[in-house]
């Protein structure tokens, strides 16, 4: 399936401008080829490609609506790594495994303060198309941990930290919910102050095993754990 991003309304589909350029200039697709367009909201338009100069369109043959989304849903709030390539790797792999939402988290030990969110959103879109997702994940702006905690439900929210002196449960002990939120800290982990603050909010701590994982590895690990629950 050749899947592209665009808008779907009233029985019509419009291919995103950047996608049109990619179709014409990079992929050099031909007029009449089979093509599929999703709006990332669960809708899929299928039809044939129309090339008009530098523009690409679709002659819609069928529109499927309300494609089933992943369940359970997973929201990971993760601190950005100093090397942004690592967090971009996490985004790509987590999206492929069906993550529903990603928040970039600013913590006490976060070294990187500037994030190109638009670039990350584009990577999430590319990974969604690659894995044939019709529901694209939400990518939120950078937010301070204190502000993030104002809008979460502590019952299904968990924090992965490395402090072995504090109580942590195993991932397999977590009951099944319709959605989960996980907080993952930066290089150097959450501060003791933040960990205690999270505990006061009723957020349970989890252990991801005996090995100390990098930030992006921890994120991918949790995404894979949730992916396994989908199967």
For the chain, the domains span: 3-64, 73-230
Q: Please tell me the predicted confidence (pLDDT) of residue 215.
A: 96
Tell me what pLDDT residue 30 has.
95
**pLDDT digit of tens for each residue in the chain (231 aa)?**
899 999 999 999 999 999 999 999 999 999 999 999 999 999 999 999 999 999 999 999 999 998 999 999 999 999 999 999 999 999 999 999 999 999 999 999 998 988 999 999 999 999 999 999 999 999 999 999 999 999 999 999 999 998 877 789 999 899 999 999 999 999 999 999 999 999 999 999 999 988 889 999 999 999 999 999 886
Q: Report the distance separating Cα 29 and Cα 126, nearest Å.
A: 18
- Predicted confidence at residue 210, as pLDDT, reads 87
Quote the CATH superfamily of domain 73-230.
Answer: SPOUT methyltransferase, trefoil knot domain (3.40.1280.10)
Give the model's pLDDT for residue 69.
Answer: 92
The single residue listed with the structure tokens 């002990």 is: 173
- pTM confidence score: 0.93
The reply to whether 3-64 and 73-230 are identical in fold is no
- Residues 29 and 153: their CA atoms lie apart, in Å, by 47
Residues 166, 170, 175, 178: what is their CA dihedral angle, to the nearest 10 degrees? 90
CATH class given for the domain over 3-64: mainly beta
CB 127 within 8 A of CB 95: yes
């Amino acid at each position: 399936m050749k899947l592209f991003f665009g808008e779907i309304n009233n029985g019509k589909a419009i291919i995103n401008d950047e996608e049109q350029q990619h179709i014409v200039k990079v992929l050099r697709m031909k007029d009449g080829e089979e093509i599929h367009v999703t709006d990332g909201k669960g809708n899929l338009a299928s039809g044939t490609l129309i090339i008009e100069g530098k523009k690409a369109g679709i002659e819609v043959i069928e529109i499927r609506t309300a494609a089933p989304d992943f369940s359970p849903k997973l929201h990971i709030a993760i601190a950005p790594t100093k090397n942004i390539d690592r967090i971009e790797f996490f985004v790509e792999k987590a999206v492929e495994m069906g993550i529903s939402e990603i928040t970039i988290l600013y913590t006490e030990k976060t070294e990187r303060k500037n994030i190109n969110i638009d670039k990350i959103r584009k990577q999430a879109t590319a990974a969604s198309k690659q894995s044939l997702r019709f529901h694209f994940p939400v990518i939120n702006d950078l937010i301070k941990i204190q502000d993030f905690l104002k809008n979460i439900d502590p019952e299904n929210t968990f924090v992965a930290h490395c402090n072995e002196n504090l109580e942590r449960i195993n991932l397999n002990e977590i009951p099944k919910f319709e959605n989960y939120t996980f907080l993952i800290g930066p290089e150097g982990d959450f501060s003791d102050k933040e960990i205690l603050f999270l505990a006061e909010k009723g957020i349970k701590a989890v252990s991801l095993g005996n090995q100390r994982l990098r930030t992006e590895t921890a994120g991918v690990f949790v995404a894979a754990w949730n992916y396994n629950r989908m199967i």
